[in-house]
Every structure is written in structure tokens, then in C-alpha cells.
Chain A
Amino acid sequence: QSVLTQPPSVSAAPGQKVTISCSGSSSNIGDNYVSWYQQVPGAAPKLLIYENNRRPSGIPDRFSGSKSGTSATLGITGLQTGDEADFFCGTWDSSLTAVVFGGGTKLTVL
């Protein structure tokens, strides 16, 4: 059972927009920055968003992040078939003194 809660799957058509939610508590999301990671099957995870809404160099602005209270959201616009992957949210938990992840959300681009 993951500390952070994500929907198991989301889907949308190419060109459309999708959002992935990540729900936590006051000791993790409510108190710390949220990151988002993309993992293509067979590859290592890659950082997509850090510090709630910042994109590392090379990540297109189709990817965005936001945080409100104890929840965070990843948004992806202009969906492409190449975006199909598993997406994980992560943050520090001040009570557990540990990094915690969501269970992951599988994105299907129909």
C-alpha cells in the first residue's frame, strides 16, 4: 500500500489533455516539494517535474505540475503515442523521514 495515492490508469486520445492526481497528507505533500517521474517499460524512471511545478532542462512545456494543500497534479497536453508510460509522484515525508512514492499511473494514448 503506497503512502501517496494515484489512479491506476488514465487514457486519452492523441492531441488531448490528461491529468494525473496524487493525494497525500500534511506530513508529505502538505509539507514538502512534489516530484513527478516518467518510466517507459524496460527503462529507468526519468524526472519530469520537480519542486511542484519546475521542469528540468529538456522536458517540454506540454508537461506541467501543480500542488494544492495535500494533493498534486501532473498535466500533459498535446498527447503523443510516445507519452505512453507509467507516471509516479514522489515527495519527502517529514514524519517517516523517507521519500515516498505513489503507486504509479499507467497512461494509455488511444
Chain B
Amino acid sequence: QVHVVQSGPEVRKPGASVKVSCKGSGYTFYEYGYSWVRQAPGQGLEWMGWIGYYNGNTDYAQRFQGRVTITKDKSTNTAYMELRTLTSDDTAVYYCARTAAGKDLDFWGQGTLVTVSS
């Protein structure tokens, strides 16, 4: 049974960084990519970037270029998303989603609420 489990809620001050983790189980971790999607309160889905299967290549949405880094650790079946220089506009639920070859996000984590407040 496939499970994608994310780390818990975070609170940060403006200007700080946050790193969210996403652990996969029940399947072969390295055969899939991992996307990060965020959802601000009452808003739609916003794709931030992904790390590919096998070679670990990354693509980032233009608006997050230079501010986000997505990595993965095959030894622990865990993917990570680090977002830097946080502002209040970054307050959102951040989702990790297993990503198949056709770029469909087939299993999603439960979401991690990141609150940025002074």
C-alpha cells in the first residue's frame, strides 16, 4: 500500500527558511519523481517544482527559482523541499506528491501547514 507522509506544521519568522520532508513507502521510491505543490488559504494549487526519478534532475516554477531547492535521499526514501527568504505570502499548506512519468501526481501527502508570521 502506497503511503506518502509529510513532516509536521512549521512556524517561521519573515526572512527565515523552512525545510519540509516527505517519506514514501509501499513502493520503489527511486522509480518516481516528487513534486511540491502549495495552496494558500482559500486559493488554488500552485506547483513549485519537482525532482525526477532515477537521475534526480529538478525543474522549478519560474517564480520560485533561486528561492527553493528540492532534493531526495534514496537511502531513507525521503524527498525534501526547502524554501528560503520567507514572507507572509508564503503562508500555505505545502503538499508533496509522487509524480509518475506522465507528470500526473498520483499519491499526495497529507500536507504541511507553514505559517510565516512575525
Contacts and interface: CB of A to CB of B under 8 A. Distances in A.
A88 B45 contact: yes
A97 B49 CA distance: 10
B44 A51 contact: no
B102 A103 contact: no
B109 to A, nearest CB: 7
Nearest to B45: A101
A47 B97 CA distance: 10
Interface in A55-89: 56, 88
A96 B48 CA distance: 12
Contact of A90 (B45, B50, B111): B45
Given A96-B62, A98-B61, A88 B108 contact: no
Interface in B17-65: 35, 37, 44-47, 49-50, 59-62
Interface residues of A, number: 25
B44 A45 contact: no
A44 B44 contact: no
Contacts of B47: 90, 98-101
Nearest to A91: B103
- Chain A's interface: helix, strand, loop or mixed, by majority? strand
A104 interface: yes
Contacts, number: 68
A87 B60 CA distance: 24
A101 B108 contact: no
A44 B111 contact: yes
A58 B54 CA distance: 28
Nearest to B99: A99
B104 A2 contact: no
Interface of A: 2, 32-33, 35, 37, 44-47, 50-51, 56, 88, 90-92, 96-104
List the 3 closest pairs (A to B, CB-CB), nearest first.
A50-B104, A99-B47, A35-B104
Given A44-B110, A99-B35, 10 more contacts: A32-B103, A33-B103, A45-B97, A47-B105, A47-B108, A50-B104, A98-B49, A98-B62, A101-B44, A104-B44
Interface of B: 35, 37, 44-47, 49-50, 59-62, 95, 97, 100, 102-111
